[in-house]
Amino acid sequence: MLWRDGRVQEGTTAPFDLADRGLLLGDGVFDTAMALGGRVVAEEAHLARLVAAAASLGFRFDAEEARTAMRAVAAGHARAAIRTTVTRGSGPRGLRPPAEPRPVLWAGAAPLRSSTVFAELSLGWSAIRRNETSPTARHKTLGYLDAVLSAEAAAREGYDEALFLNMAGRVACAGTGTLFAVFGTSIVTPSLSEGVLAGIVRARLLALAPGLGLVPSERPLAPEDLAGAEAVFVTNSLRLVAPVRRIAGRDYASAGHPTVRAVRAALSAEIAQACGMAPEG
């Protein structure tokens, strides 16, 4: 299902300007959200992040149009993945952006299997580094080739997903999510300055943690720090909380760890309340 130019259509094909900078230069941003019972989970947070990402690239778009698009493709779905994409639009040849951008926006929905949520993951180290000095490392831009190539390499080695270090050799993130490590009552995640996306679920867990008796911390993590972690999990808006069962050659009993189970239950309850549904197990 696709929303484009004010209407919803079946399929994924629509007219497109081949001079669009999103296609030619990756000049654009996107957002991925979960829809439950026809509602976009954490809608305001997703819209705010999409607006901030575009602003970081130097252009604006109509946020209310994006809201309309997201809601339109979410409607009627029991569970779906919603992707909203905004490019700077077309422009003259060359790298410099046009003085007056004409953003292009569309949104699509795809069924999301219930088995995706809270599913365990195995992670393999990527040979590609995350560039923490780049503004694009903190936003979902259309230049995702590093993640694509790392995902392919991880799959060839038998892992579900890639795990990135940054240019300084510290832990950054997984290919599609934020990494958390559990040390006693502390849950630690790399700070945004390490080249980490400002994840929606990441922010919610940092806010929920104190109410669960946990101490949230944003700080650098070295690869060897993970060897001392009791559990590790990855968060994003579709998986929510994904326990990590293995990183390279090291196994973790993350799925059954009390802290992982507690944050999973708290997040599930919050989302269910917001969407008027029963919490998931």
pLDDT in tens, 159-217: 999 999 999 999 999 999 999 999 999 999 999 999 999 999 999 999 999 999 999 99
Helices 200-208 and 43-57: angle between axes, nearest 10 degrees: 120
Residue for token pair 């409607």: 75
Cβ-proximal residues to 169 (8 Å cutoff; 6+ apart), any chain: 222, 223
Q: For residues 277 and 36, what is the distance between their CA atoms, to the nearest angstrom?
A: 8
Q: How far is CA 184 from CA 157, 160, 205, 225, 242, in A?
A: 31, 26, 16, 13, 19
Dist CA 38 CA 73 (whole Å):
8
* Residue 280 pLDDT: 67
Q: What is the pLDDT of residue 274?
A: 85
The whole-angstrom separation of Cα 16 and Cα 151 is 28
Which one is the CATH code of 2-112: 3.30.470.10, 1.10.3720.10, 3.30.70.1350, 1.10.150.80? 3.30.470.10
What pLDDT sits at residue 276?
76
Residue 108 identity (one-letter amino acid): G
Q: DSSP 3-state assignment of 229?
A: coil
Token pair listed for 121:
């993951």
CA-to-CA dists, residue 155 to 121, 122, 225, angstroms: 12, 10, 25
- Position of tokens 């392919």? 152
Cα–Cα distance for residue pair 62/227, rounded to 1 Å: 46
Q: Residue with structure tokens 């944003």? A: 218
Q: Give CA–CA dist 41/48, Å, rounded.
A: 13
Q: What is the pLDDT of residue 1?
A: 86
In the chain, domain spans: 2-112, 121-275
Q: What kind of architecture, by CATH, is found in domain 121-275?
A: Alpha-Beta Barrel (3.20)
Q: Is 95 exposed, middle or buried (0-12, 13-18, 19+ CB in 10 A)?
A: exposed
Q: Indicate if the alpha-carbon torsion angle 63, 13, 109, 176 is positive or negative.
A: negative
Positions in the chain short of pLDDT 70: 278-281
For residues 71 and 54, the answer to whether their CB atoms sit within 8 Å is: no
